A = this chain, B = another copy of it.
Amino acid sequence: MRPQALRGFRDYLPEEMLAKDRMLDAVRSVFESYGYPPVATPALEYAELLLGKYGEEGEMLLYRFLDNGERDVAMRYDLTVPLARLIASHGSLIMPFRRYQIAPVWRAEKPAKGRFREFVQCDVDLVGVNDASADAEMLLIGQDVLRALDVEKYRLRVNHRGILRAMTRILGIADGAEEGAFLRLLDKLEKIGEEKFRGALAKDFPQIDAAGTERLLAIVSSGGAPAETLASLEVLLGSDPDGALAIERLRQTMERVSAGGRLDTIVIDPSIARGLSYYTGIIYETFLEALPEYGSVMSGGRYDGLVGMFAGRDLPAVGISLGVDRLLSALLEIGSFESLSTPAEVLVVQFSEQGSADAFRLAAQFREAGVATVIYPEAAKLKKQFQNAHNLGIPFTAVVGESEASRGTLQLKHMASGEQVEVDVAAAVARIRRAGRGTE
């Protein structure tokens, strides 16, 4: 039997991992430009800390076991509960507290195509303030992340729990379980279409009459540019106090986004509900125009109850979570990232024991000039070394024989065209740079 990765888990080989790291570097750099530092929390937590946080279904998916000291432990299921625990454990953190965390989480889901039991989450959160400024900051970060990843065409769809609350109240839906069921149905509207939605609505919510149904569909289809949508929602829902507050809050938020970024990527969409019951204010999802079938690549919202839970004090919070693997697949499909199997830009050939020092000297000069360089790590047949450069997709090879060494030159070969020139190191570096692939 050939050794395999554990069922439901996977390796990331160089090609995918290089792209993933480039993507995460760009994301980190945006987070840090907003003053967010990274933190890290352990892969394992006391199980009791995680229990009761993810619902019955989630709890079934925990990797939970007794450690060697008979402690009941579980592997990290998300980054939000660890954030709440971290804040409670370190009493002296300065509020408002900003942090991001990029780390794998583990869920024993039924394996399926593209779904794994280990995946990387990337969360950015601002804790300690309930203000439109904090909400706006998240939307700006989201815009800047996509800009940093060269994604131009996307829609940030924004809603507010207060709008949903006003809507359900007007429709006569009770708070709690009934509201939850309604929001889950609403979440499916886009997927199942209006006809099926009407059917399910009539079946599960008989209290909504024909006029109510029309009113609901008018509201949820009123989405669009912020100012217009908020004006029409004012008419439709402004009589409800929660609705009025939510509309005003979104207005303040959009004013800040408009000052600090762009409004044209944002739509107010009263139909998005986000499944998670812990959201209390703004909620958002992000869809790529070219690939809507990937679903939301970046989502989140305000959740004012969760973080303060462990600390036993009021700690409002707002955050974004990036679907790292989903976003990576999308970017590779869009072509935002070149797919490389090596960072190397040139392979220095080593064709004799005697010539090794020359090869090492040349490789050092290339690296000094910022060119990522591999040296073929033994003296082997030239053909084998060229083949290796070709197989790895390294764009250039460099050979320095005795005569080149004496002239201070090298033979630089462009692998794709086969073109070979004798140049000095500076000229070789310039050619490699011009070919346009760099690690910087």
Contacts and interface: CB of A to CB of B under 8 A. Distances in A.
Majority secondary structure of chain A interface residues (helix, strand, loop or mixed): mixed
Given A6-B73, A255-B357, A364-B260, A38 B17 contact: yes
A106 B137 CA distance: 37
Interface stretch (A96-104, A162-170, A237-245): A96-104
Contacts of A431: none
Contact of A39 (B11, B65, B347, B388): B11
B42 A13 contact: no
Interface string A3-17: 111110111111101
A13 B391 contact: no
Given A35-B343, A133-B350, A372-B33, A67 B63 contact: yes
A54 interface: no
A45 B5 contact: yes
A208 interface: no
A39 B63 contact: no
A133 B348 CA distance: 12
Interface in A80-135: 85-86, 88-91, 93-94, 96, 98-99, 104, 106, 108, 118, 126, 129, 131-134
Contact of A34 (B104, B126, B367): B367
Nearest to A144: B367
Given A90-B13, A255-B356, A5 B42 contact: yes
A18 interface: yes
A417 to B, nearest CB: 21
Contacts of A350: 133
A191 B35 CA distance: 45
Contacts of A137: 375, 377
A361 interface: yes
A58 to B, nearest CB: 13
A222 to B, nearest CB: 26
Nearest to A101: B17
